[in-house]
Amino acid sequence: MAAVTTSSASAGYTDPFAWKKCNSKVDFNLKITAAKAVRCKGAKRVMANYDGQIKRKFKAGGYKCKRVKGNRLAGTWKCAKGSKGFKFKFAD
């Protein structure tokens, strides 16, 4: 007796809330690396319009951002607004 299983990958399903890789350079020292439920272009626009310091925690375009890896001079930050989010790398 053979069991039949259908995986979501074989059915062509793409999780709309999965992180997708980005390679969107915002400035010489800031690059969007991943996005979830938002386009890479939209995340790039949020950070391009942000006019403030990259602190341990800050808000940009309605997104709450916090450092998840590194130090104040270089690292990875994660920004979230509801189910939307993006990650970026910054080095000063």
**Of 88, 76, 84, the residue nearest 18 (C-alpha):** 84
Asked, for residue 61, whether it belongs to a domain, the answer is: yes
**pLDDT tens by residue, 22-77:** 999 999 999 999 999 999 999 999 999 999 999 999 999 999 999 999 998 899 99
What's the total number of domains in the chain? 1
Distance between CA atoms of residues 85 and 83, nearest Å: 7
Residues in the chain: 92
Domain encompassing residue 46: 27-91
pLDDT at position 24 is: 93
Asked, for residue 34, whether it belongs to a domain, the answer is: yes
Asked, for residue 22, whether it belongs to a domain, the answer is: no
Asked, for residue 8, whether it belongs to a domain, the answer is: no
- Residue 9 contacts residue 18 (beta carbons within 8 Å): no
Asked, for residue 6, whether it belongs to a domain, the answer is: no
Asked, for residue 16, whether it belongs to a domain, the answer is: no
Asked, for residue 64, whether it belongs to a domain, the answer is: yes
- Could you tell me which residues are beta bridge partners of residue 87? 34, 78
Structure token pair of residue 49: 């319009």
Task: Tell me: pLDDT of 8 over 60.
Answer: no
Asked, for residue 2, whether it belongs to a domain, the answer is: no
Q: Quick one: CA dihedral 8, 13, 15, 18, positive or negative?
A: positive
79 confidence band (pLDDT: 50, 70, 90): very high
pTM: 0.80
